[in-house]
Amino acid sequence: MSEFVLEMKNVYKAFPGVIALNHVNLKLRPGTVHALMGENGAGKSTLMKCMFGIYSMDEGEIYLDGEKVEIHNPMDALTKGIAMVHQELQPIPERTIGENIYLGRYPLKSFGPIKVVDHEKLYEDAERVLKEVNMDFNPRTKLKELSVSQMQSVEIAKAVSANCRVLILDEPTSSLTQNEVEALFAIVNDLKAKGVAIVYISHKMDEILRISDEVTIMRDGQYIGTWEAKGLTTDFIITKMVGRELTNLYPTRENVPGEVEFEVDDFTSINPKSFRHCSFNVRKGEILGVAGLVGAQRTELMEGIFGIRSKTSGTVKLNGKELTIRQPKDAIDHGVAMLTEDRRGSGILGVLSIADNISIASLNQYVEHGFLLNNKKIEELVQENIKQMNTKTPSSKTPIQSLSGGNQQKVLIGRWLANNPDVLILDEPTRGIDVGAKYEIYCIIADLAKQGKSIIMISSEMGELIGMSDRIMVMCDGRVTGFIDGKDATQENIMELATQFES
């Protein structure tokens, strides 16, 4: 009997123009948490997709309990006891929680020769699984009624329902509150006690050092090494990940905020449970951080300003002139851009190329003779953006879905910069991005502020807000509860305002 529940040996995987995995090895012990770390593009998710049967390996072998196996697809992986919670959620919003949990594995009952879904058993089983992982959800609720963080919790319940022996968690806490993170860790510890081997992919160093038993680090598609987690330091992990020492987490900023450029006054949602009576301004060349706990309605407020959500009152002014914004196109035409929180759901156009994703919001600038696109100028724009953003890609024709999360984010920022906006709203711009790519995004943001752009940056990471913001606006329960000067900001005074609920 092997001491490892699963082994991946000499795994090689290539895509057009790039070697994603270059003879990588991984060994998982039962009842342990094995952290898999590396920068975006290091090959972590690709390796896990090979394990889960999403990708076929060009070379390499997989062993379960010492016996060689072949995994042809995700259903094959599930039957072998391997489950995966993906970084980018793929929910079916119009179906219920129970149906999402047992998707492709519905219990059946017979009516003579006809088999139909046994919904009664489905919901009984779903309710049991939800209780097992301490999730107080009604399994008959449609998934579209849940928040992103709650959807992620359902994905975890789905993996647990498969009675897995190996569980892959790819950035499982990227959308969770601290309380939800604690609940997840409790689930992980329960699964460990049952002998489940857990692969834990995260860029959050404190989580890795707290929950992991072993750490494997990858870089540029290659295996760097495996270490016991006990005794490792953040500096050691970062150095191994990026191949160099990072002395600063945040760039030195040279922006000098000027006069007030962007003003929002008395913004109130049509939904009484959302944002209400919100007012703030942003100066030219200023980075205004937006803090708040989950449910503070930060994203909803920015979507209202951008014309995605309806309001009952409120005005927006740019350089003293009131803007009429009824839809996102109006905002774009007035020089306001918004990078959304959900990169996969409302950001990238996954089936299209990098060139298409960069140029999609500015094609009207390249129309000639009323209907012809100047493809030469579009390609010049795309190449300039790729160079400016330092996007790692074999070609501008590469499908964006094949890029790492950090490079996808650079493409989306490049899309908006192609319109040369005055105001740039960034909603969780570094969510799910490794420490090296984060620094590159921070440098881009700092440079934009230096150029005089007004930046509004929503972030759930306190350090990021404190390290990057000139001022921080704090929200709680749909209201603006205060402002803190960047140099005076601490986690304590941010949290004090973020928990200032109405009595």
The tens digit of pLDDT for each residue in 342-361 reads 666 667 776 788 888 888 87
- How many structural domains does the chain have? 3
Tell me if residue 368 falls in helix, strand or coil.
Answer: strand
The 10s digit of each residue's pLDDT in 54-100 is 999 999 999 999 999 999 998 899 889 999 888 766 778 899 999 99
Q: Is the dihedral of CA 206, 87, 403, 218 positive or negative?
A: positive
Range of the domain at 396: 346-420
182 shares its domain with 217: yes
Query: For residue 437, what pLDDT is reported?
Result: 73
104 and 52 in a common domain:
yes
Per-residue pLDDT at 245 exceeds 60: no
- For the stretch 424-474, pLDDT in tens is 999 988 876 767 778 888 988 999 999 999 999 999 888 889 999 999 999
Q: Are residues 169 and 311 in the same domain?
A: no
- Residues 167, 189 within the same domain: yes
- Select the more confidently predicted residue: 468 or 242: 468
CA atoms within 13 A on the CB side of 127: 9
Beta bridge partners of 6: 28, 64
Query: Which residues, including other chains, have CB under 8 Å from residue 349's CB and lie 6 or more apart?
Result: 356, 357, 360, 400
Q: Are residues 214 and 291 in the same domain?
A: no
pLDDT at 134: 75
C-alpha span between 468 and 445 (Å, rounded): 9
Cα separation, 125 vs 161, whole angstroms: 9
Q: Is residue 240 left, alpha or beta, with left meaning phi > 0 and alpha meaning psi from -120 to 50?
A: alpha
C-alpha torsion sign, points 50, 51, 56, 59: positive
> What phi and psi, each to the nearest 5 degrees, are found at residue 131?
-65, -35
**Is 392 inside a domain boundary?**
yes
328 and 388 share one domain = no
Q: What is the mean pLDDT of residues 192-218?
A: 90
Residues ≥6 apart with Cβ < 8 Å to 31: 192, 193, 194, 195, 196, 197
Q: Which of 223, 242, 261 is the last residue of a domain?
A: 242
Q: What's this model's pTM, rounded to 2 decimal places?
A: 0.62
Whether residue 340 lies inside any domain: the answer is no
- pLDDT above 70 as % of the chain: 94
| Lookup result for tokens 């609940």 | 183
Is 341 within a domain?
no
Q: Is residue 361 located within the same domain as residue 351?
A: yes
Q: Are residues 399 and 443 in the same domain?
A: no
- Which among 207, 242, 277 is the end of a domain? 242
